[in-house]
Amino acid sequence: MPKITELFKKKRPPLIGIDISASSVKILELSKNANTYRVERYAVEPLPQNAVVEHAITEIDQVAEAVQRAVKRSGTKSKHAAIAVAGAHVITKTVKVPAGMGEAELLAQVEMEADHYIPYPLDEVNLDWQLIDTPKSDDDEVKEEEDQPVLMAACRKEIVDDYVAVVETAGLKASVVDIETYAMENAYALISHHMPGAGMEKTVAVMDIGSTATNINVMHSNQSVYTRDHTFGGRQLTEEIQRRYGLSYEEAGLAKKQGGLPDNYQTDVLRPFMEALCQEVMRALQFFYSSSTFNSVDQVLLAGGCSQIPGIDELVAARVGVPAMVANPFTSMSLASRIKPQVLSNDAPSLMITCGLALRSFDE
């Protein structure tokens, strides 16, 4: 029987969100009072180059050490973490099962359905499922006879095991293993209320532009309807700085963030990268239009490290012809006194997934 992993199941607080990306480890701890969230602690710790490759951890010890450093810097005392695996490693499928089944029957049915859709032996995957709420019917008797939709998710054990091993090696417990797509959806829900022309029917393309990949996650009526990875990221800018100015990769990364590069950097290096980024956004949107019933989006929401480039939202809006804004899931949150507002604001676009994971503390 395959092991059932908590990809969706709700857990008890307190949890810290830990996002392990290609370039860094990000940790976030939130608290909640009534309907108001507060940022208690957070930290961002860089990772060595190639410690994480194509969403897979290749250097468990190095990543675990970065998690330990981030935990220490943040000052959190929590030992329970919510982590996420990339959607690219997860197979999801919505199936229908007879309504009114007990949990044991439902599990057996899910495993039978999974065997049809998952191209791996079930003992090689971590499998989870969640019932999907359906609109209530006026006729309860008819409702009871309807099939119940179930969302299944499966990920290769070796992927999940490496993420769990990193957390455990760092002295923590992986209490929740989520999927990045759903963590992003969680964080997006905080932002959607503050977006211009906010409304449930809006279609928003969230462009998470990371170090090595760009993920487009399209939200319609506050739910993810499309997601895809594209091979484009901030590492291309770092490597161009490295090549152009004869720096090491680490020196180039620091110079990109801290400044101090020659005068021609803005025109000869940064601007061409910004234009390439806009082209990538347009390309990602075209893929979305060609594979869905949508032919437009109402807004582009920029996340990830590259969205911190000054003026990138205005340039994307001008090139794509759609309003664009930079993501900040903390706009309506209060901050603990130890948190520096400007520093958090700078990091905020990169903390979307981390925030979505930290919110799992408040699942009921």
pLDDT at res. 64 = 97
pLDDT at res. 142 = 44
CATH of the domain at 300: 3.30.420.40
pLDDT at res. 1 = 42
pLDDT at res. 4 = 47
- Beta carbons of 101 and 192 less than 8 angstroms apart: no
Please indicate, yes or no, whether residues 139 and 199 belong to a single structural domain of this protein: no
pLDDT at res. 145 = 55
Please indicate, yes or no, whether residues 133 and 253 belong to a single structural domain of this protein: no
Domain containing 256 equals 195-328
pLDDT at res. 146 = 73
- Within a domain: residue 49? no
- Within a domain: residue 242? yes
- Within a domain: residue 190? no
Q: Note down pLDDT in tens along the chain; length 364 residues.
A: 444 455 555 546 589 999 999 999 999 999 999 889 999 999 999 999 899 998 899 999 999 999 999 999 999 999 999 999 999 899 998 888 888 888 888 888 888 888 888 888 989 999 988 888 765 555 554 455 578 888 899 999 999 999 999 999 999 999 999 999 999 999 999 998 877 765 567 899 999 999 999 999 999 988 889 999 999 999 999 999 999 999 998 899 889 988 889 999 999 999 999 999 999 999 999 999 999 999 999 999 999 999 999 999 999 999 999 999 999 999 999 999 999 999 999 999 999 999 999 999 988 6
Total tally of structural domains belonging to the chain? 2
- Within a domain: residue 46? no
Please indicate, yes or no, whether residues 315 and 238 belong to a single structural domain of this protein: yes
End position of a domain, from candidates 106, 131, 155: 155
CATH of the domain at 111: 3.30.1490.300
pTM: 0.89
Please indicate, yes or no, whether residues 136 and 203 belong to a single structural domain of this protein: no
pLDDT at res. 136 = 56
- Within a domain: residue 200? yes
- Within a domain: residue 360? no
What's the chain look like in SS3? CCEECCCCCCCCCCCEEEEECCCEEEEEEEEEECCEEEEEEEEEEECCCCCEECCEECCHHHHHHHHHHHHHHHCCCCCEEEEEECHHHEEEEEEEEECCCCHHHHHHHHHHHHHHHCCCCHHHEEEEEEECCCCCCCCHHHHHHCEEEEEEEEEEHHHHHHHHHHHHHCCCEEEEEEEHHHHHHHHHHHHHCCCCCCCCCCEEEEEEECCCCEEEEEEECCEEEEEEEECCCCHHHHHHHHHHHCCCHHHHHHHHHHCCCCCCHHHHHHHHHHHHHHHHHHHHHHHHHHCCCCCCCCEEEEECHHHHCCCHHHHHHHHHCCCEEECCCCCCCEECCCCCHHHHHHHHHHHHHHHHHHHHHHCC
Please indicate, yes or no, whether residues 151 and 223 belong to a single structural domain of this protein: no
